[in-house]
Structure 1
Amino acid sequence: MEIIMAVLAGILFTTGVYNLLQKQLLRIIIGTGLISHGAHLFILTMGELKTGAPPVLTEGIENYTDPLPQALILTSIVISFGVTSLLLVLAYRAAKVNGTDNMEQLRGNDYE
């Protein structure tokens, strides 16, 4: 299961970086979201996936799931939601003021 999660995280990182290198602002924002989701899966995989194990220690249990990666992912989800909403508002404002969402035109270059 960890192999599948690692491959999926790698695919998310790859597509996220590809979208970050695009010219449209919306694709750049989607790329940041994909990279954050890849980081969530990577953190979850580092915590060793254990199915059916309790998340807290109780008496007589030797195999338990570490709750720290889950808490880190929950915090990361909130932060990535805030960053994504901020980027969407900034992109909307930049597109409305400048009339375009193309990064080359926003930089002042007229390459097409």
Structure 2
Amino acid sequence: MTVGIAAAVGALFALGTFLLLRDDIIHVVWGVAVISQAANVYLITMGGIREGTSDTVPVLGTRYAPFPATADPLVQALVLTAIVISFGMTAFALVLSYRAYQENESMDLREWE
């Protein structure tokens, strides 16, 4: 499970970096959005549940081996806030890129003065 999550985070960071290096401004905006989501996944994994920390489920109160202890709610609240902020910033960046397209009549960054 840990290797799969690490591979997913690495793939998201790689995809975001690939998109950041494109010439199209929309790809750059989406690259920033993907990298921010990769950082959120990384934070959730680092502040999440650790296997073997508890043998009881808080709701049931009985021993049930497959379920570890609960995750830290502070990390989840901070990541939820980061998701909302990154959504707003992505929408703002897309509006700015549309305005730049209206001014320059091109989405290619190399054609801009």
Category of TM-score, reference length = shorter chain: 0.7 to 0.9
Q: Report how far residue 72 of structure 1 moved.
A: 1.2
CA contact (8 A) 1:20 1:32 kept: yes
Identity score, percent: 37
Q: Distance in 2 between matches of 1:54 and 1:67?
A: 14
Q: How large is the Cα RMSD of the aligned pairs?
A: 2.5
- Alignment partner, residue 90 of structure 1: 96
Matched letter for residue 41 of structure 1: V
Match of 2:70 among 61, 64, 67: 64
Change over 3 Å in CA distance of 1:100–1:46 after alignment to 2: same
The answer on 1:35 being equivalent to 2:42 is no
Q: Give, in whole Å, the separation in 2 of the partners of 1:54 and 1:99.
A: 58
Cα 1:66–1:16 change in 2 (3 A) is same
CA distance in 1, matches of 2:46, 2:94: 30
Q: Which segments of 5 or more consecutive residues in structure 1 lack a partner in the other structure? A: none
The Cα of 1:39 is off from its aligned counterpart by 0.7
Pair 1:101–1:54, CA change in 2 (3 A): farther
Q: Structure 2: 5+ residue runs without aligned partners?
A: 63-67
The match for 2:65 is none
Residues 87 and 8 (structure 1 numbering): CA distance in 2 closer, same or farther, change over 3 Å? same
- Residue in structure 2 matched with residue 80 of structure 1 by the alignment: 86
What is the TM-score when the length of structure 2 is the normalising length?
Answer: 0.80
- After TM superposition, the score normalised by the length of structure 1 is 0.81
CA drift at 1:96: 0.9
Q: 1:47 matched to which residue of 2?
A: 47
User: Could you tell me which residue of structure 2 aligns to residue 103 of structure 1?
Assistant: 109
Deviation per CA, 1:54-100, whole angstroms, max 9, x where unpaired? 59xxx99x933211111111011011011101110000000011100
**In 2: Cα distance, 1:18 partner to 1:54 partner:** 43
